[in-house]
Amino acid sequence: MNQKQTVAFHTLGCKLNFSETSTISRIMEKEGFEKKDFTDSADVYVINTCSVTDNADKECRQLVRRIQRKSPDSFVIITGCYAQLKPAEIASIPGVDLVLGAAEKFNITEHIKALTKTNDPAKICSCDIADVTGFNASFSQNDRTRTFLKVQDGCDYNCSFCTIPMARGKSRSDTISNVVANANHLASEGVKEIVLTGVNLGDFGKGAHGDKVNGENFLDLVKALDAVSGIKRYRISSIEPNLITNELIEWVSTSDQFMPHFHIPLQSGSNKILGLMRRRYKRELYAERVALIKQLMPHASIGVDVIVGFPGETEEDFKETFDFIHSLDVSYLHVFTYSERDHTKALEITPVIPIHIRNERNKTLRNLSYMKQQFFSQQHSGTIRSVLFEAYNKEGMMEGYTDNYIRISTPYRNEWANQLVDWTI
């Protein structure tokens, strides 16, 4: 095909996907493409997919249909986890022209040059996930306030509900020197906050073939980043409870740059269900980690991932999860309703929980999350905390987050955009 002039992007899923979409966007802009909003007409549409939940799959199909109605002559390219897991299924969607697997997403411009608009099935450029060993550094850079910086990819864990190892391959990382170089670049661009992202962030340090890179680990990384001048804040996006070590918690408690904010996946408060999920810890370890964080940083915010309706989860198991989370000094929950994923071990577990019960349990935990969040905010009422305000003007209002992740909204003031402001909550 002749090189097109405009391209629009849409990202489904996690912060890691957003960092990669931003990097792909910069690659295409360097090749002469003009970036457009996804709601605008464009010559090329790129959808970076997720496959953690069934909704992400459905949303991908809906987006393609929307493009078909609006701009039927445009090229539609699908990449991301869904594209790696089910390339043939995506290729069969009317309107899709190109499907790029995990190894090819960053070679997108080369594939576009060879693309033609035909009525044939979409072209698939993919490979076996075992052959995906390289690491592509990525970061989002459309907002100077906060940037997602990818430092790790892939996962060597095999949780029974998860498709991510099949979609992203083995655990592998960037080098500390390269991450620090990217952080210095972002600081020079005026970025104030970096969110470290990865699939299994605490596993940082593995090279392309699963070996340790120069003996580096995640604690070494955060210590090196702490010395970068210009970046005011770092956040750790999500870290497994068995990988958030006491040493890491103790070190963050003494750092001015790393925020008192942790996101630690729990998934279940029942040791029986954790075993069925093939998680690498028990709830007692989780409780120990939370207790140490709150002992050293009483003001810290702790977010929790939890899955409801996992196969075999009885009412007693769910109550155990509810009571356990209720007892923890945590700040908010991300609640996921279990959805069946092809080729996962969880499909072999019985009994299957009816959808309406899964939804009821989701609602119960979301209500608990609301109460936890309100209580955490009220605990800090009257205290002064540093807020980094975003530059967006939302109908005369602006938002920002305190160091410990309390969202603040106030009438827009231009001089506060992308600035740290001491704020009485």
Domain boundaries, the chain: 6-127, 133-259, 384-424
**Per-residue confidence (pLDDT) for residue 291, from 0 to 100:** 98
**185-236, pLDDT tens digit by residue?**
999 999 999 999 999 999 999 876 556 666 799 999 999 999 998 899 999 9
**Per-residue confidence (pLDDT) for residue 231, from 0 to 100:** 95
**Per-residue confidence (pLDDT) for residue 134, from 0 to 100:** 83
**Per-residue confidence (pLDDT) for residue 51, from 0 to 100:** 78
350 φ, ψ (degrees, to nearest 5): -130, 160
Count other C-beta atoms under 10 Å from residue 142's C-beta: 11
Domain 133-259 sits in CATH 3.40.50.11540: no
Residue 89 β-bridge partners: none
Domains 6-127 and 133-259 share a fold: no
Average predicted confidence (pLDDT) for the chain: 92
d(CA 107, CA 111): 7
**Per-residue confidence (pLDDT) for residue 413, from 0 to 100:** 96
Q: Measure the CA angle with vertex 234, ends 233 and 239; round to 5°.
A: 155
**Mean pLDDT computed over 322-343:** 96
Report, at the CATH architecture level, how domain 6-127 is classified: 3-Layer(aba) Sandwich (3.40)
**Per-residue confidence (pLDDT) for residue 144, from 0 to 100:** 65
| pLDDT of residue 372 exceeding 70 | yes
**2-36, pLDDT tens digit by residue?**
555 899 999 988 889 999 999 999 999 999 999 99
**252-307, pLDDT tens digit by residue?**
999 999 999 999 999 999 999 999 999 999 999 999 999 999 999 999 999 999 99
What the block records as the tokens of 107 is 């070679």
